Structure 1
Amino acid sequence: MSADAFTRTDLTRILLEAAGAEEGFDLDGDVLDTEFTALGYESLALLETAGRIERTYGIALDDDLLTDALTPRALIGVVNDLLTVARTV
């Protein structure tokens, strides 16, 4: 699947599909700069999320990129960077 941009809505949908939501957190709220661990998403949930992103968008998320993307904003940025590279190849 080719996409113009990976959005917050896309990430929220995939996070909820992959791991659900921690009670008390509104992923539509002001959480873009909150670390995933503070939102209740541990490494296994993020690995499942990454796998779904890879399959849906046809990109490969390197483990280092994934571990460095500590917040939703950072992960959205990484995915969009990879999508940009994929479109230019």
Structure 2
Amino acid sequence: MSDRITLADLRQILVESAGEDDLLLGDIEHTPFAELGYDSLALIETAALIKQRFGVQIADDAIAGLATPAEVLDLVNGTLVEAG
């Protein structure tokens, strides 16, 4: 388990969750998930993979409330800091 999730880590998880590789090129940190082609089911799968790899559980309603990759990074890294 890592002590920090990077944008590259999250990008890989997003690709595994929904396979939208082409939409994840470039600076996606502040791009809304809707513009990236990710729906609530893909985000729930993303949360499951984050839990598996980083040990951070994100509730389904919480992940649905996060609009951008930056918000996911902030939540996960904040939780990892608190746990560390």
TM-score, normalisation: structure 2: 0.88
CA RMSD between the two structures: 1.5
1: CA distance between counterparts of 2:37 and 2:9? 18
2: CA distance between counterparts of 1:69 and 1:4? 21
Q: Which residue of 1 aligns with 2:52?
A: 55
Q: Which has more helix, going by share of residues? A: 2
Q: Which residue of 2 aligns with 1:41?
A: 38
- How far residue 46 of structure 1 moved from its aligned partner, in angstroms, is 0.4
Counterpart residue identity of residue 70, structure 1: A
- How far residue 9 of structure 1 moved from its aligned partner, in angstroms, is 0.4
Q: Which residue of 2 aligns with 1:14?
A: 13
- 2:26 is aligned, of 23, 26, 29, to 29
Moved over 4 A (4+): none
Identity of aligned residues (%): 42
CA contact 2:43–2:64 (8 Å) conserved in 1: no
TM-score, normalisation: structure 1: 0.84
Where structure 2 has 5 or more consecutive residues not aligned to the other structure, the ranges are none
- How far residue 10 of structure 1 moved from its aligned partner, in angstroms, is 0.4
Q: Secondary structure at the match of 2:28?
A: coil
Which range is displaced more, 41-50 or 52-61? 52-61
